[in-house]
Amino acid sequence: MNRLIQSGLMFGNLIRVDSPALIDRYNRALQHLTGQQTALTEFHIDISGFAPEIGDELGDPLYLNHHGVNRQFILLTTEQKTAPLLDATFSTSRSILRRFIETNEAQLFALTARDAVAGELVNSVFSLTTPARLLDIRKITVEADTTGGTLRQARELAEMVDEFKTREDAWFDDPLIARMIGAARNTGDILRNPVLLETMSFETQNFWTSHFGGCYLFRAVDRPALITAGDKTALQDLPIGAVFDLSDRSRIARFLESNRLVEPIVTAPGLDAAAILRQKMDFIVVDAAQDAGIDLTGATRRDIRHLARRHAGQLPEAYHGLGRLVHWAEGAGDWPRITSEHPSYFLSLRAADTPDRDLVNMLLAELAPRDIRQLFICHKQLFYQLYRAWSETKRSYVVDFLTREYQVDKAGARAALFGHEPPMQEPGDDLIARVGPWGAVKGR
């Protein structure tokens, strides 16, 4: 994993904490949340304030995420909004934290100038003892305050100010005035500079969780379902439309299609479909080369495609299926028939432009893990898990590729792969929908 870290592909964009003042604030927040402190003089934190070095020190990688459910957080700076969320157990957690920071950025900037802000992503479930508890997760509320209770004191001061303004004899209430002065020393002038954080709650109907082997829960769709990477027999009794595991390829395909959650890459607007599919074909060649023990250190696209031509007969059907799609996209072949059982099927899709686009792309990455670029972008935890089992030659190629092709322009790569243009109906689109390779799913 050191190669990933050194290349910025793991633990990248974390916030370095090495000043005594910030460490002291962090320790006060850590004591407030967990009753523990760190003796480290330097560490790196993610968007939630979690530091992997402190996790190692305490022997507890979940020290801010007890039971993997209600994520606690420590904010030392608003710059944390751009950091990743390490070891996420819910797909919604990072986006919720980022929206909370951005919505309250001015207030948080002022508060973190003097103290750390500590809080929790709170929902009605405190532990997932049974799979049925997944369905109880519907809303997450962000609760936060400084370790000194500045916001609590500001609320109390506001109530005292209201009482002072409305009570006729308040001018003669010396204890009330003394309490107001004492609170104002900590909060400042709340009339001119209100110290408030917007209360934020988020509906969580569709999400991924790492619990129970990894589950994708889709409730806010026409045909609800839960898709698990684990054992579906333990989930069969859940009161939801359907339960699938990753081997139920045709059923998952029908689910995605019937809920209009995916679209074929070759018909997606604004994409260089042939280039994207050719890159996926290269990744399949890399897999085959790993199995054959071929050294790919320093291999270029030209080298990979030379290998493909030399060993075309030994390449899997997924490679040839994508090749037929490329030929059609370039006008050099007939429209191929690719059903949901074909090994290239999920490689040929991307998420449609819906609010659940990121969640669907995450699912597609797990269904088609040969696409190492999509896997790294959309499902880092699975990427790191699989990376450990890859051969040294594949690791070398993957790190070199991601450093060269993705790290230099992350935003551009994401836009090219997953961005959506306003929908435009082109001549023949209705024909493609009826007789294309994805028509086989609709007819089942």
Residues contacting residue 225 through CB under 8 Å, at least 6 positions apart: 218, 240, 241, 242, 243, 244, 255
DSSP code, position 228: E
Rounded to two decimals, the pTM is 0.84
Structure confidence at residue 158 (pLDDT):
67
Question: What's the rounded Cα separation, in Å, for the pair 281 and 287?
Answer: 10
Kindly report, residue by residue over 52-68, the tens digit of the pLDDT: 999 999 999 999 998 89
Structure confidence at residue 181 (pLDDT):
73
First CA to last CA distance, the chain: 44
Strands 117-122 and 72-75: antiparallel
Structure confidence at residue 160 (pLDDT):
67
Structure confidence at residue 152 (pLDDT):
67
Contact present, 187 and 204 (Cβ < 8 Å)? no
Structure confidence at residue 432 (pLDDT):
36
Ranges of residues in the chain with a pLDDT under 70 are: 152-160, 163-164, 176-177, 180, 183-195, 420-444
Q: At what angle do helices 392-401 and 273-292 cross, to 10 degrees?
A: 160
Structure confidence at residue 171 (pLDDT):
76
Contact present, 123 and 100 (Cβ < 8 Å)? no
Please report, rounded to a whole number, the percentage of residues in the chain having pLDDT higher than 90.
Answer: 53
Structure confidence at residue 129 (pLDDT):
87
Taken in order 149, 151, 155, 158, is the CA torsion positive or negative? Answer: positive
Contact present, 123 and 137 (Cβ < 8 Å)? yes
At position 437, the amino acid (one-letter code) is: P
DSSP code, position 332: S
- Residue 315's nearest CA partner among 296, 336, 331, 291 is 291
Q: Output the CA angle 354-219-239, nearest 5 degrees.
A: 165
